C-alpha cells in the first residue's frame, strides 16, 4: 500500500508537520496546560476544515530540499498564508468579473450592431472564413469547420437557456416561440471560456473593433484573456493563486517594457524574458482595468499582495523587481489619448 493510500488521523497529520520543521505545534499536552490544549484543539479543527494536503501545498515555498524540512514556518503562519491567498483570490475575482462583463458587452455590441439581434446564430456572417485561424491551433475555417462550430455552440446555448435563472431570459423564452434569445441576453449567460472562444472565431475586423477598446492588438488581447481565464479557474476551484506560474508566457503589455517607471515593475528572468509569476498576471489585470474603469480601487488587491510577503517569499518570489514595484503597479492611470498608462 502506498503512503498516500493510508488515512491518517488529524493528530498524525499535525505530527507530520511538526516532524518536518513546522513550528508552533505542541503534541504533548498535560491536563493542567489549558492554553496549550486549546491551541492543539484549534489546530486539529483547522486541519479538519482545510485539509492536510491543501495546507501542505501552501508550505512548499518554505521547504528546504537540502535538509528535507520547512524553514521559517510556523503552523499559524501557514494557516495565515492560506487565508491571505483566499483574500487575494477574492480581490482578483472582483476585477476579473469587470473584465469578463466588459468583454461580453463588447462582443454583444459588435455582433448586434453589425448583424442584428439574432445574426450571431449564423456563424457564416461574423466568423473568420476560408483561412487559417491561428488562435484555434491553425484550424482552417472552411464552411464545414464553421458549421461544426455553429452546431456545437447552439446546442450548448439551448442547455444554458433552459437552466438560466435570469428573469429577463425566462420572460423572453416564455413569451416567444424563438429558441435563441437576442445577443444581448445571451452573452452574460456564457462562461468566460466560451466568450473567449467566440472572440477567437470572429473575423479580423470584428476582433480589431473589440481589441481597440482595450488599447491593444488582437493577439495581445487573446493572450491576456486566456491568462485571465486560467486565473479565474484557479480562484473558483480553490487553487493556489499566490504560487501560480504560467506555463506559456502571455505577451507583456508594452508599457511594462517601455515606460521609465513601469519597466521597473516586472522581474526579468533574462533579457526580454519576464517573470511568469503572480506579478505578471496582475499587470495584465491592471492593463485591462485601466481601459474599463480608470478610477478602479486596487486597495484590497494591493494589500492582499503585501500581506503575502515575508523573508522566505519576498516581492521577487512573486515576480516583482522589489517591494516598491507593488506600489507602482497599482498606481497607474490611462492617458487622455487612450494609448498607454502613466503613474499618478
Does residue 2 register a pLDDT over 60?
no
CA distance 100 to 197: 13
The sign of the dihedral angle between the CA atoms of 251, 252, 254, 255 is: positive
Quote the pLDDT of residue 260: 78
Average pLDDT, the chain: 91
Please write the tens of the pLDDT for every residue from 187-241: 999 999 999 999 999 999 999 999 999 999 999 999 999 999 999 999 999 999 9
Those residues with Cβ within 8 angstroms of residue 220's Cβ, 6 or more apart along the chain or in another chain: 211, 251, 253
The pLDDT-based confidence of 4 (bands split at 50, 70, 90) is low
**Strand, coil or helix: 35:** helix
Does residue 1 register a pLDDT over 50?
no
Q: What is the mean pLDDT of residues 33-60?
A: 92
Lowest mean pLDDT among 63-67, 249-253, 259-263, 318-322: 259-263
CB atoms within 10 A of CB 271: 5
CA distance 137 to 261: 36
The sign of the dihedral angle between the CA atoms of 114, 118, 120, 125 is: negative
Question: Who has greater pLDDT, 18 or 37?
Answer: 18
Does residue 341 register a pLDDT over 60?
no
Quote the pLDDT of residue 35: 84
Query: Which residue from 146, 11, 84 is spatially nearest to 302, judged by alpha carbons?
Result: 84
Those residues with Cβ within 8 angstroms of residue 72's Cβ, 6 or more apart along the chain or in another chain: 62, 310, 311, 312
Amino acid at each position: 500500500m502506498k503512503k498516500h493510500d493510508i488515512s491518517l488521523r488529524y493528530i498524525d497529520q499535525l505530527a507530520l508537520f511538526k516532524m518536518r520543521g513546522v513550528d508552533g505545534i505542541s503534541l504533548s499536552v498535560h491536563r493542567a496546560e489549558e492554553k496549550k490544549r486549546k491551541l492543539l484543539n484549534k489546530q486539529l479543527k483547522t486541519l479538519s476544515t482545510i485539509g492536510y494536503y491543501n495546507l501542505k501545498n501552501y508550505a512548499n515555498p518554505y521547504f528546504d530540499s537540502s535538509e528535507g524540512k520547512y524553514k521559517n514556518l510556523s503552523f499559524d503562519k501557514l494557516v495565515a498564508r492560506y487565508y491571505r491567498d483566499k483574500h487575494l483570490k477574492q480581490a482578483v475575482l472582483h476585477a476579473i468579473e469587470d473584465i469578463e462583463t466588459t468583454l461580453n458587452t463588447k462582443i454583444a455590441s459588435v455582433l448586434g450592431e453589425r448583424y442584428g439581434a439574432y445574426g450571431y446564430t449564423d456563424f457564416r456572417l461574423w466568423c473568420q472564413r476560408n483561412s487559417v485561424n491561428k488562435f484555434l491551433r491553425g484550424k482552417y475555417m472552411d464552411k464545414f469547420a464553421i458549421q461544426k462550430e455553429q452546431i456545437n455552440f447552439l446546442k450548448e446555448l439551448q442547455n444554458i437557456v433552459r437552466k438560466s435563472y435570469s428573469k429577463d431570459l425566462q420572460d423572453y423564452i416564455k413569451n416567444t416561440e424563438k429558441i435563441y434569445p437576442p445577443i444581448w441576453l445571451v452573452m452574460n449567460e456564457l462562461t468566460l471560456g466560451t466568450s473567449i472562444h467566440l472572440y477567437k472565431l470572429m473575423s479580423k475586423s470584428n476582433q480589431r473593433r473589440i481589441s481597440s477598446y482595450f488599447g491593444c492588438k488582437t493577439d495581445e488581447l487573446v493572450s491576456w484573456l486566456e491568462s485571465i481565464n486560467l486565473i479565474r479557474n484557479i480562484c473558483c476551484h480553490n487553487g493556489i493563486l499566490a504560487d501560480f506560474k504560467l506555463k506559456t508566457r502571455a505577451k507583456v503589455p508594452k508599457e511594462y517594457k517601455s515606460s521609465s517607471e513601469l519597466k521597473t515593475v516586472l522581474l526579468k528572468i533574462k533579457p526580454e524574458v519576464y517573470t511568469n509569476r503572480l506579478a505578471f498576471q496582475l499587470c495584465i489585470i491592471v492593463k485591462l482595468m485601466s481601459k474599463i474603469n480608470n478610477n478602479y480601487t486596487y486597495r484590497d488587491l494591493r494589500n492582499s499582495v503585501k500581506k503575502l510577503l515575508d523573508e522566505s517569499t519576498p516581492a521577487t518570489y512573486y515576480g516583482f523587481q522589489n517591494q516598491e514595484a507593488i506600489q507602482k503597479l497599482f498606481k497607474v492611470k490611462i492617458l487622455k489619448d487612450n494609448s498607454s498608462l502613466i503613474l499618478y
